[in-house]
Structure 1
Amino acid sequence: MNTSLPARHGLSDRTLAWIFVLPTVVLLLAFNIFPLFWTIYLSFTNYRANRPNLEVDWVGLENYSRVLNDPDVWESMRATAHFLCWSITLQVLIGFGLALLLNRRFRTHSFWSTAILLPMMLAPAVVGTFWKYFFEPQYGIFNYLVGLVGGPTSFTMLGDGSLSPWAIILVDTWMWAPYVMLLLLAGLRSIPPYLYEAAEIDRATEWTKFWRVTLPMVMPFIVLAVLFRAIENFKMFDLVDQLTNGGPGSITELASIRLKREAFEKWRTGYSSALAIILFVSIYGMSMVAVRFLDRVKQR
């Protein structure tokens, strides 16, 4: 009696896996890896995209030196840092507050959960255009609402150098605080109930339970929310471009707006490539710090 197993025909599991994975790898190389290395190469040259026939010279670190010594670049970085700090702070505070409210089950819980998430479902360019008309001094609703509460109606939110940065912070917070709320709500739902039961046995106050149980357990989710929003806000472009386009003057000219002007208005491709690499390294470094901090929080 022949008990040998029949010979296997067809493709092996390893071959099938490569067939499915290979298109993804090719697309990743085509749309991510190659442009990154091409940008690094251009950052060491004097290439200009509007003059492709011009002889390309290797300039070494000259573009990086010019970027790091350009006061306009540092001014855009200052505006970006101001935008990052305030928008993320407000989004975490408001998102955490909304998450605490929605974590309590009530009759209209599903309706409010969906309604609060609506702003983050809109395209940033659409949001920027909508709020631009909302702040319009002649026919916008904002000045009308300010007038209803007795405030001045003669100023313009987007035309005032001291108010324009807060306008983009307000709009970004309105749009993305629900995203932070969603992350932190998931963190609140993951807290084991027995921790609160043990705290109640010890007769802990509500503040003690929040400080000793809720906040430590949700902290990894807060760090993730800060990391995700910091990365997105550091490269924020479409919302600010539609809302203020960096104005008035350059008061809201974030690093991404500055990069666009150098690359597609002044056509300094080599210089803008160096700026792009510096921004990439900055975001990567910021992400590494956040990940290290997240690891320490998890180990506690």
Structure 2
Amino acid sequence: MTASPITKAAQHTPDGIAKKIRGLSDRSIAWIFVAPTIFLLLAVNIFPLIWTIRLSFTNYRVNRPNKEVEWVGLRNYERILNDPDIWHTMQATAHFLFWTILIQVLIGFALAYLINNKFKGNDLWTTIIVFPMMLSPAVVGNFWTFLYQPQIGLFNYVVTFFTGGDPADFSMIGDVYLAPWAIIIADTWMWTPFVMLICLAGLRSIPDSIYEAAECDRASKWRQFWTITIPMALPFLMLAVLFRGIENFKMFDLVVQLTGGGPGNTTTLTSIDLKREAFEKWRTGYSSAYAVILFVTVFGLASIYVKALNKVKER
């Protein structure tokens, strides 16, 4: 009988090493395999975070490496929190987060509910709906920029049709009030399929026996929807909100492709503002403090939200 590769490896292992391995506990062996990954994560994530926190208390500028670095304490944090432009950027980001999450969850859940009720051509429509999510943000940005063009853009014709203006004289991404909505529409088109897939997984995890029992009790479809479907799919809905909230808080590439933060600063989100401070104005210490504030904000809100999500799962 031919020996397995594991047996051959064991037979060729030197006696000294074999004795040491046999003397290790399961926990020690597990740590041997896990340790390289932990060290890699510490090097890639933890060290940059600690370094960023340290720089946030200085006036360091990366484009002036020979300049003496001064310890400024909390001055950078005070300047950020007292800057009205920063608060305007926070407000624009909150506006973007609220509407994108709300619209994507409503449309995504509705699509998941329809697809869950299997019909002819179900798989084909699912593939078509998921297609935008497969594209890169750069491609989506260029595609929607084409749709928003003053002369040939579809949305410009729709808006000017109701307002009675000339499509050639109007640009949706150039309008102060409509530019934020232009980004919301593009992001919704791209990421609603992601929310739909999460909601679809939640809907298909609900046992059919629960609906059958409700039908035996003569519960209407509407009552089944509110007492069975929504409560049991709620953890998945909340998970979709968490994922999209974190991703949209750091939204950058799609906004740059569409508006570049304009017109004015109407679509300048925190990620774009942070990039300008760090790589255009080269205020490294200041931008580090900015990054720490954003990290604490996202981490704090996400922690509170995850606790609420765990409570919902325990019900």
User: TM-score under structure 1 normalisation?
Assistant: 0.93
CA distance in 1, matches of 2:36, 2:100: 38
> 1:290 is matched with which residue: 305, 312, 315?
305
Within the alignment, does 1:247 sit opposite 2:262 as a pair? yes
- Where structure 2 has 5 or more consecutive residues not aligned to the other structure, the ranges are 1-10
Query: Which residue number in structure 2 is paired with residue 225 of structure 1?
Result: 240
Distance 1:205-1:109 versus aligned 2 partners, 3 A rule:
same
Alignment pair present for 1:206 and 2:206 = no
Q: Which residue of 2 aligns with 1:35?
A: 48
Inter-partner Cα distance in structure 2 for 1:140 and 1:24: 49
- Inter-partner Cα distance in structure 1 for 2:258 and 2:103: 19
Q: State the partner residue of 2:130.
A: 117
Shift of 1:16: 5.7
* Match in the other structure for 2:140: 127
How many Å apart are 1:120 and its aligned residue? 1.0
3-state DSSP of counterpart to 2:173: coil
Cα offset for 1:112? 1.1
Alignment match, 1:266: 281
Q: 1:187 aligns with which of 180, 202, 222?
A: 202
Alignment pair present for 1:59 and 2:77: no
- Report the more deviating stretch, 26-35 or 74-83: 26-35
Find the partner of 2:187 among 164, 168, 172: 172
What is the deviation of 1:151? 5.9
Residues 190-210 of structure 1: CA deviation (Å, up to 9, x unaligned): 001111111101111111000
Counterpart CA distance in 1 for 2:264 and 2:194 is: 31
- C-alpha deviation, 1:133, in angstroms: 2.0
Deviates more, 1:23-32 or 1:163-172: 23-32
Does residue 276 (structure 1) correspond to residue 285 (structure 2)? The answer is no
Task: Tell me the alpha carbon deviations over residues 46-69 of structure 1, each in whole angstroms, 9 at most, x when there is no partner.
Answer: 001111111000111110011100
CA offsets per residue over residues 95-143 of structure 1, 9 Å max, x none?
A: 0000001001122111111111111111112211221122111343433
- Tell me which residue corresponds to 1:100: 113
Letter in 2 for 1:111: L
What is the one-letter code of the residue matched to 2:136? A
Pair 1:137 & 2:150 matched: yes
**Stretch of structure 1 that moved more, 146-155 or 273-282:** 146-155
Amino acid at match of 1:200: E
> How many Å separate the matches in 2 of 1:66 and 1:150?
43
Q: Which residue of 2 aligns with 1:3?
A: none
TM-score, normalised with respect to structure 2:
0.88
Mark the runs of 5 or more structure 1 residues left unpaired by the alignment. 1-5
Report 1:148-167 matches (<5 A).
152=165, 153=167, 154-167=169-182
Larger deviation, residues 23-32 vs 222-231: 23-32
Say which is worse superposed, 138-147 or 234-243, in terms of deviation: 138-147
Q: How many residues in Structure 1 have an aligned counterpart in Structure 2? A: 295
Deviates more, 1:116-125 or 1:145-154: 145-154
Q: Does 1:25 align with 2:38?
A: yes
- Alpha-carbon distance in 2 for matches of 1:75, 1:205: 48
| Mapped partners of 1:212, 1:156: distance in 2 | 46
User: What is the DSSP-based 3-state SS (H/G/I as helix, E as strand, rest coil) of the residue aligned with 1:48?
Assistant: coil
Q: Secondary structure at the match of 2:174?
A: coil
Q: Superposition RMSD on alpha carbons, in Å?
A: 2.0
